[in-house]
Amino acid sequence: MVAERLDVSVRTLRRRLTEENTSFQEILDEVRFGLATEYLVETHLPLQELSILLGYSDPGNFTHSFKRWSGRAPRDFRLERQSTFNSSSRT
């Protein structure tokens, strides 16, 4: 779908990404991680809804990916960020 939107073949898109030392999956992971951290900090959406917004069919897959990206579970990340925010807003 991305190649089609860029009006190139899938093979050309792969080749160009390889030339840039990246892959579609790496870019997708970066975007998902960025959005996930933003959603976890800025919203109170349940993890199940976040996983759907990020394109995961199962919340467990999202949790696994988030742990791989950050070293923490999304729930722990959210709690840490909220406690940091609450501490800094009191001072």
**pLDDT above 70 coverage of the chain, percent:** 92
Residues listed for the chain: 91
pLDDT in tens, 35-48: 999 999 999 999 99
Closest CA to 63 of 77, 73, 78, 52: 73
pLDDT in tens, 73-82: 999 999 998 7
pLDDT at 82: 78
Q: Determine if residue 7 is left, alpha or beta; phi over 0 gives left, psi from -120 to 50 gives alpha, anything else beta.
A: left
Mean pLDDT of the region 49-69 = 96
Using only C-alpha atoms, the chain has a radius of gyration, in whole angstroms, of: 17
Closest CA to 12 of 4, 40, 39: 4
Domains in the chain: ranges and CATH: 2-90 (1.10.10.60)
Q: Greater confidence, 81 or 91?
A: 81
Number of helices and strands in the chain (H, E): 6, 0
Report the predicted TM-score, pTM, of the whole model to 2 decimal places.
0.81
Mean pLDDT of the region 16-26 = 95
What residue type is 16 in one-letter code?
A: R
Residue indicated by tokens 């900090």: 41
